[in-house]
Structure 1
């Protein structure tokens, strides 16, 4: 059946080379495990032990996920496969934290196999296998190879892979060592082996520190540059490293340990740390608060915990300022912690800097408080106390993980235990900042009346004695204890004692869904489960909404009714990897929620035997809440018999997804069974435990069938109701059609006639508008009449006459200058040098005449010069009377020329005033 499926990236990913070990890698991996665990027992003894165990006998020739698919390797010794699984189980038994050896960032997948980190791009896989056919997809998978990250300093078993928010830094966590690798930008274009820069974080504080193992590590969400890594160890010490500045020394350190407990204190009374998490982003102080969980189940909190350089939203900073400044100022209620809040806020506001890329966030510095430190708040009080499924030893019911859900309007905290129990709690006291003050030394060993005992404790008594609370809403039992729990009874001193123990180790890990805040996942050594809190969270949200709107009437009754109803969360199993106590272990070591738009919404689970399980999920359709909108007004036609509007027969809310089928985002009703390689083909041994398991599976199938039948009945009833509504709507439409024909159609001809009349009137109006527009255009820019056109022609003719007269004037002026020059020469010839002294006006005219005479015609000048030369050779002299007659004649001619020049200048100036360019 699987071979007939359309090849997709999700069903082809398990066959990828990133989840395979070739023969050389497999032998090297088993050799390293043998050296680490100092296992010197021969393989035949392990084989004998394994073959006598139900569900663990292997078929000869069976292949393994550790092999390359070659038959020869599987036939050499099937005991090697069992030996590898046994060693892997021993390796994971020694883990002090939940395993997370697979991480997906957008489209990039990183997997830790032994001490090797592998990489592949899921979008390339989807492009290669989808929409190309099964043959091409199979060839692509066979040829597709993963890339290996060459990271130095990895000489330990990898427990967790944690990538920062921008996908540039990868934290590799072991039991006693933390290595941060810098991922290259062009990792997809690099060859198969990709070299990465790496460095060891806090080598002095974590390596070879005895029982103080690393519990968990997280990247701080508010770090500028996403370079702050928080590491929690068993001794309740939380260290914050800024790997971009100094990876050897922590930037800050916080202690969740009690008074008198140090990092070297161990014993029966010491409560070791188990896990930690950040608060919800919907809470005011949530991103700055850290919840710490101890192995005994106690919850502590510290706030504020922020990097030295971090990024805050402007709205969040403003809300924090309003909350702190809104507290009363009088001395009775303003405690030392309140004063510290104001001092902390003042320094925080002074350090605000604008962000270079966004106006919605700002850069702030962590205020330096010298005389105080962040106080540990807690332990939280459970009200009521959580329900214990069965009395277990403390070692078998340890708390292992904590998770704060991003829910509104109430904060939810989830605690997971090794026995399979989970507590879902309401956060009654939201996070708030609090500091503890250093104890001031006394000046003397005596007490005086001025001494205050409350000051010795470093803070006021009411702040020290107050403990925050958690309301335990629900305790969920995953059923692990029923399958893997053992009961032994003993009798001593006349008393019978019953001891309940867990037969397998279990390290549960909580994972929040990236899209929906009302669902989360928990994976452990026997499989993975989902928990949906949507049924009761919606009811809680409606109660909060009614309270915020001021609907106080009946609110207390609703709250009492809500708690009395005890609405349960929906719990289901996604994958089962260990059916019975005798089954070989195959714990889940990797869990990722893929939310990339190109890859679609899906789950990826990785077992310890490198078997990948993919589950495609469905996004919830956004349905409009019809009941939340006001009813539409009902209309009725005047004069008709129908007085009321149309009423829909379908009930609210609108019919949507079935709660038992697809309301869980596509998660299966029955879990997938994933067995280690070779176990599925083994011969089943009939035992009581196996029969109980088969009975359980058959009962689950019957419940699923009953759920399907119930959903079918509901759908059938809905179908009948919708058919009735459809018939009702058809009848209403027919009635409306008849009313239209009987009432409206009679008036349609009248409306048509009116429309035609209006159209004709519109045409007339348009014609009038065109005529008016034409007249306005003529008034604005009129045309020339015949008289104006004739005048323009006359002006043009006059212009031509004036131009001709101007040419003549230039010729006359030239001749005048020539004559004037000749006259001067004759005067100088007749009278000599003494006659050259003349009046100022005559001298000016002679100088101008000389300049004009130089530009006269060459022929005239030559003739003048010849005459002058001829005259310069006088043969006889004229008389005085003769010269005076000539001079008087020349003066008259000069006056006539001057009068003509003035008249020409006057005519020219008058013509320049006339604008003959106008039409």
Structure 2
């Protein structure tokens, strides 16, 4: 987990431009009821349907934040430097900036670093989605989508600080209207040409693909591809009409209208492996998950490795099932469809299109027409090892989905190739896809896509393929782990948790709900699981089972909103990392910004490497900060809001009850009506003010308790200081504090010197005992001695010889055995000489003596050889 070092910095504090960037121009009353004063009362508070609130987008160090119908634009690095300059000017420590006669760029009559973007909208902004090349900004309300052309960053440093009105296009002015289903997700397609393809997903499960072009105004009016997922789920062939119904057409009731209510949708990263970059994952509110692959625009630009990787995978699959008779027929037909799709791509000649950012040219392909442009809807996925369904309804209502695609297998892609393919980011991590789901209760489910989602299409009209595909098993996801990101008392029906990506790793992310931000990291088990899957050996199943049961995913709460007001939820967090700003996440409520600043991840990596250098088994404890950081207390916004009572009186002066203000109070229906309306306003305001005052009182009490604890800690520290200085001893004569401290320092220095000398002495002795390391020649000589020892004496590890020459100790044993046999024969011959002579052949004694002398000489020679070898070996040992 990244170490939190501080919270919202001073340059985003109250009274700074950074603070005003996230709040309204004036505090409007937050009353829920106002009187119409025409004989009836109405409620202006609408129970808005819960949904995602992504009102912060970033472009480098620049941020775009939505406040109501207005968009604020600022450069955070510029705001920070301006605040530092202002503080230095106040303290008189400015170094050459802002001095008399030398105006600074941060003066009031110069650029302020922030602007306001005016956009004509009918409702408040709910989401801001910036394009991959940061030149478009998708502005989403509940039912409408607007595409703004972002201005250049130079406008932030211009002298003119008036509001800007960027060029804005309404996306689908006849499609995305208030009379149709609400919009839940707007995604920039990872494979769009120069990041100009937008995919919108409505609550009624309608997916539309928009290929935007500034040269073609009609590209903002009509999508190039429109798919109704409810129709596609019941489709039987690709020639059917799956386009969404036109606005104004009556649609009958269908059970799918309830079960296929979309909560969120997402793509995996552009650099993911396999079919992931063109797979749209859809999470339904009721808990089902679907996949749409391949979902492509008419013109798309793949990364350099995508098409070669898919081609290698498809060809390998065709070769594997070609001669295998056990492969199901549905798999064979699916492989043939993928091969036809890839053949269509191979027959194309891609066009080169220059990137607007000045990057290298990208190849643009046309969407293959075979087997069809509308893919098959895969799902709903079956969750294996999923926990039992909870009785709480909020545990089963999905709010967001986050998919991490599998890594690109570079080794398989480049197998047999002589020239390496230039890959910007080969990727690392897991070779499986990871699907993360969030529910309204804050429950996080982490699942693995073991089979991998591949491209699928519906069959031809009248084909018999459908019977093969229906018999196949439904797609499934393996539930790896389930975590809770909310605490007791934080769960309510309007909660809508959201995912936010992180910089440090694609396997770490943030979860933001109404009142908290939680950090989640999957890195503790991702790389371990990948190693087990790649090099699976004996005991791999046992180790994987232990890893799954260990629950190694890291979860840490990094921020909790102090206010209990559920009508001021946190916006989706945005992670930022810049040398000038540091590494932090930024979020905001409608009343103030929130920033959590982390320690730089580079420092953490260096420290981790340094700890590992001590010992392979060294397990370092996490560093604890000297001062535990905590957010600064923000008073409740109810204390700063304007009262609604003056506006009520102003309306009363222009209503038919204006005469009541000049007359005495009389009991009448009109007076009762006015009093009722005033009571509604005052009761709500007094309730909010009373709650805020109670919270302030509790904070004051908590401050007293913490102050007392701090005083106790200071008292302990003072006692330790007295022990060091000797003031705690009353029986000794008083002495100067400096003298006592110097005496202790000198004693400690002397002790340190003695220890240093002892360590140096031990080091010298150890150096003499160990000596220097052996050279290669000395090690070879020692090995030769061991071989000679084993050859002569037969001790140690013997080496089997492959030649015909016997070892000396073997020959010596044979000679001893031969000596014993000859001595037995000599004794037999001597016994025969003692007996009377027989008629046999007699051997002269001279011959027998000569033979015996010859044998004795041979034995003495062998004995001398063995003794000589033994003596030489003893000398070698002693040397």
Class of the TM-score when normalised by the shorter of the 2 chains: 0.5 to 0.7
Look up the SS of the partner of 1:194 in the other structure.
coil
TM-score (norm 2): 0.60
Q: Residues 471 and 7 of structure 1: is their aligned pair in 2 closer, same or farther, counting only changes over 3 Å?
A: closer
Q: Deviations over 1:700-740 (max 9, x none)?
A: x99xx9xxxxxxxxxxxxxxxxx9x9999966764587699
Map of 1:652 onto structure 2: 616
Map of 1:421 onto structure 2: 443
Q: Residues 267 and 568 of structure 1: is their aligned pair in 2 closer, same or farther, counting only changes over 3 Å?
A: same
Q: Is this contact kept in 2: 1:533–1:570, CA < 8 A?
A: no
Map of 1:253 onto structure 2: 226
Q: Residues 731 and 600 of structure 1: is their aligned pair in 2 closer, same or farther, counting only changes over 3 Å?
A: farther
Q: Residues 566 and 611 of structure 1: is their aligned pair in 2 closer, same or farther, counting only changes over 3 Å?
A: closer
Q: Distance in 2 between matches of 1:524 and 1:7?
A: 18
Q: Residues 125 and 290 of structure 1: is their aligned pair in 2 closer, same or farther, counting only changes over 3 Å?
A: same
Q: Distance in 1 between matches of 2:624 and 2:308?
A: 45
Map of 1:483 onto structure 2: 489
Look up the SS of the partner of 1:562 in the other structure.
helix
Q: How many residues align structurally? A: 601
Q: Distance in 2 between matches of 1:531 and 1:7?
A: 19
- Structure 1 residue 508 displacement after superposition: 1.3
Q: Residues 533 and 599 of structure 1: is their aligned pair in 2 closer, same or farther, counting only changes over 3 Å?
A: same
Q: Distance in 2 between matches of 1:668 and 1:466?
A: 53
> 205, 209, 219: which is aligned to 1:236?
205
Map of 1:393 onto structure 2: 393
Q: Is this contact kept in 1: 2:9–2:595, CA < 8 A?
A: no
Q: Deviations over 1:562-586 (max 9, x none)?
A: 233343532324232444xxx4642
Map of 1:221 onto structure 2: 190
- Structure 1 residue 124 displacement after superposition: 1.3
Q: Distance in 2 between matches of 1:515 and 1:23?
A: 30
Q: Is this contact kept in 1: 2:112–2:157, CA < 8 A?
A: no
Q: Distance in 2 between matches of 1:274 and 1:282?
A: 24
Q: Residues 739 and 326 of structure 1: is their aligned pair in 2 closer, same or farther, counting only changes over 3 Å?
A: same
- Structure 1 residue 378 displacement after superposition: 0.9
Q: Is this contact kept in 1: 2:265–2:400, CA < 8 A?
A: yes
Q: Is this contact kept in 1: 2:7–2:597, CA < 8 A?
A: no
Map of 1:117 onto structure 2: 71
Q: Distance in 2 between matches of 1:392 and 1:624?
A: 44
Q: Distance in 2 between matches of 1:459 and 1:216?
A: 32
Q: Is this contact kept in 2: 1:291–1:299, CA < 8 A?
A: yes
- Structure 1 residue 417 displacement after superposition: 1.0
Q: Distance in 2 between matches of 1:462 and 1:400?
A: 31
Q: Residues 428 and 627 of structure 1: is their aligned pair in 2 closer, same or farther, counting only changes over 3 Å?
A: farther
Q: Residues 733 and 362 of structure 1: is their aligned pair in 2 closer, same or farther, counting only changes over 3 Å?
A: farther
Look up the SS of the partner of 1:195 in the other structure.
coil
Higher RCO (CA < 8 A, seq sep 6+): 2
Look up the SS of the partner of 1:335 in the other structure.
helix
- Structure 1 residue 213 displacement after superposition: 0.4
Q: Is this contact kept in 1: 2:119–2:165, CA < 8 A?
A: no
Q: Is this contact kept in 2: 1:626–1:654, CA < 8 A?
A: no
Q: Residues 279 and 577 of structure 1: is their aligned pair in 2 closer, same or farther, counting only changes over 3 Å?
A: same
Map of 1:305 onto structure 2: 295
Instruction: Say yes or no: does 1:364 pair with 2:365.
Output: yes
Map of 1:374 onto structure 2: 375
Q: Is this contact kept in 2: 1:8–1:129, CA < 8 A?
A: no
- Structure 1 residue 266 displacement after superposition: 5.1
Q: Distance in 2 between matches of 1:146 and 1:562?
A: 50
Q: Which moved more, 1:588-597 or 1:159-168?
A: 588-597
Look up the SS of the partner of 2:503 in the other structure.
coil
Look up the SS of the partner of 1:327 in the other structure.
helix
Q: Distance in 1 between matches of 2:760 and 2:619?
A: 21
Look up the SS of the partner of 1:317 in the other structure.
helix
> 106, 117, 122: which is aligned to 1:155?
122
Q: Distance in 2 between matches of 1:405 and 1:661?
A: 32
Map of 1:598 onto structure 2: 580
Q: Deviations over 1:492-515 (max 9, x none)?
A: xxxxxxxxxx3x511111112133
Map of 1:205 onto structure 2: 175
Instruction: Say yes or no: does 1:337 pair with 2:343.
Output: no
Q: Distance in 1 between matches of 2:368 and 2:275?
A: 16
- Structure 1 residue 660 displacement after superposition: 7.6
List aligned pairs for 1:311-350, cutoff 5 A. Answer: 311-328=301-318, 330=322, 333=327, 335-349=332-346, 350=348
> 508, 513, 531: which is aligned to 1:545?
531
Map of 1:576 onto structure 2: 561
Q: Is this contact kept in 2: 1:232–1:239, CA < 8 A?
A: yes
> 432, 455, 458: which is aligned to 1:433?
455
Map of 1:535 onto structure 2: 524
> 461, 474, 490: which is aligned to 2:481?
474
Q: CA RMSD in A?
A: 4.7
Asked which structure has the greater CA Rg, the reply is 1
Q: Deviations over 1:29-62 (max 9, x none)?
A: 76xx99xx985479xx99xxxxxxxxxxxxxxxx
Q: Residues 602 and 743 of structure 1: is their aligned pair in 2 closer, same or farther, counting only changes over 3 Å?
A: closer
Q: Distance in 1 between matches of 2:135 and 2:185?
A: 20
Q: Distance in 1 between matches of 2:553 and 2:35?
A: 51
Instruction: Say yes or no: does 1:129 pair with 2:104.
Output: no
Q: Is this contact kept in 1: 2:22–2:590, CA < 8 A?
A: no
Q: Distance in 2 between matches of 1:266 and 1:133?
A: 64
- Structure 1 residue 684 displacement after superposition: 7.5
Q: Is this contact kept in 2: 1:401–1:416, CA < 8 A?
A: yes
- Structure 1 residue 10 displacement after superposition: 6.3
- Structure 1 residue 672 displacement after superposition: 7.2
Q: Is this contact kept in 2: 1:586–1:675, CA < 8 A?
A: no
Map of 2:278 onto structure 1: 288
Q: Residues 343 and 542 of structure 1: is their aligned pair in 2 closer, same or farther, counting only changes over 3 Å?
A: same
Instruction: Say yes or no: does 1:384 pair with 2:344.
Output: no
Q: Residues 327 and 7 of structure 1: is their aligned pair in 2 closer, same or farther, counting only changes over 3 Å?
A: closer
Q: Residues 742 and 365 of structure 1: is their aligned pair in 2 closer, same or farther, counting only changes over 3 Å?
A: closer
Q: Residues 166 and 298 of structure 1: is their aligned pair in 2 closer, same or farther, counting only changes over 3 Å?
A: same
> Tell me, which stretches of 5 or more residues in structure 2 are unaligned?
93-97, 99-105, 236-241, 246-250, 407-428, 641-688, 714-752, 775-879
> 350, 353, 372: which is aligned to 1:352?
350
Q: Distance in 2 between matches of 1:731 and 1:288?
A: 69
> 613, 617, 622: which is aligned to 2:605?
622
- Structure 1 residue 319 displacement after superposition: 0.8
List aligned pairs for 1:654-803, cutoff 5 A. Answer: 658-659=621-622, 661=624, 676-678=636-638, 734-735=764-765
Q: Is this contact kept in 1: 2:636–2:692, CA < 8 A?
A: no
Q: Deviations over 1:48-104 (max 9, x none)?
A: xxxxxxxxxxxxxxxxxxxxxxxxxxxxxxxxxxx9xx98xx56x514521011112
Map of 2:592 onto structure 1: 610
Q: Distance in 1 between matches of 2:627 and 2:266?
A: 26
> Tell me, which stretches of 5 or more residues in structure 1 are unaligned?
47-82, 441-454, 486-501, 630-647, 706-722, 745-919
